[in-house]
Structure 1
Amino acid sequence: MILEMTTQFRVSDMKEGQEWYETLLNKKPDFIPHEGFAEWELIPGCWLQVAEGTLTEGNGPLRLGVTDIESERDRLVEHLHIDRFDIHSRSEVPVKWGTFSDPWGNQLGFFEYLDKSEEKERAHSILGK
């Protein structure tokens, strides 16, 4: 039985990397066990680790569910100066999505449920909200 999960991205400069991910996630790390390493609990039991070290080409994408993909994209373009990424959809897929990179080449993205009642049900089942 799987209880939790983590994924890890590497950055070449931990101070810059931590600041970048704090802006992306709108919060400080939940856990910093030692220098060169920080962790954020994205949802209960789901952790993103950022570690200083040798960059790993081709990581990701790690896509994060959001309630308004366009406003999140605009926020990142303004505050993190990422390139404006395209938002995609297909009739057989229940979400729209987009992908972007952090400054170290790690692939990230957002997705948004098209059916807001499904989004609300998912949030309730995961977060109890």
Structure 2
Amino acid sequence: MIQEMTIQIRVTDIGQGLNWYRTLLGKAPDSIPHDGFVEWELMPGCWLQVAEGLPAEGSGPIRLGVRNLEAERERIMQQLNVEYFEIYSREEVPVKWATFSDPWGNRLGFFEYFNNKED
């Protein structure tokens, strides 16, 4: 049985990658076990690893669930200089979603449930 998971993406400059993902995720990394490698625990048992190296082509996107997709799009456009990206939905699907890229070409995205209520 699967107990945890990790998702690894690569960036060509770990210092820039650490800063970019710290801003995207809104927090410092949870672990920096060695040079060229940082980790964030996105939720219990689910880790995003950012490693220095050549990014894999054609992978992803890794989509992160958010409460307000439009607000997150505006935030990362302003704070991370991400280009404007479209938000999509389909009548038969209970979410809206969007895809964008980090500066290294890793495909990322957000999704938001239509019935998502603020706590």
TM-score normalised by L of structure 2: 0.96
How many angstroms does 1:58 deviate by? 1.5
After superposition, the CA RMSD in angstroms is: 1.3
- Gapped runs of 5+ residues in structure 2? none
- Segments ≥4 residues shifted beyond 3 Å: none
Aligned partner of 2:16 in structure 1 is 16
- The yes-or-no answer on 1:37 pairing with 2:37 is yes
Partner of 1:112: 112
Larger fraction in strand: 2
Corresponding pairs, count: 119
Q: Which runs of 5+ in 1 are unaligned?
A: 121-129
SS in 2 for 1:78: helix
1:44-99 deviation digits (Å, cap 9, x = unpaired): 11100000012211221000000000000000000000111100000111100000
Where is the helix percentage greater, Structure 1 or Structure 2?
A: 1
- Provide TM-score, normalisation by structure 1: 0.89
* Whole-angstrom CA distance in 2 between matches of 1:65 and 1:55: 23
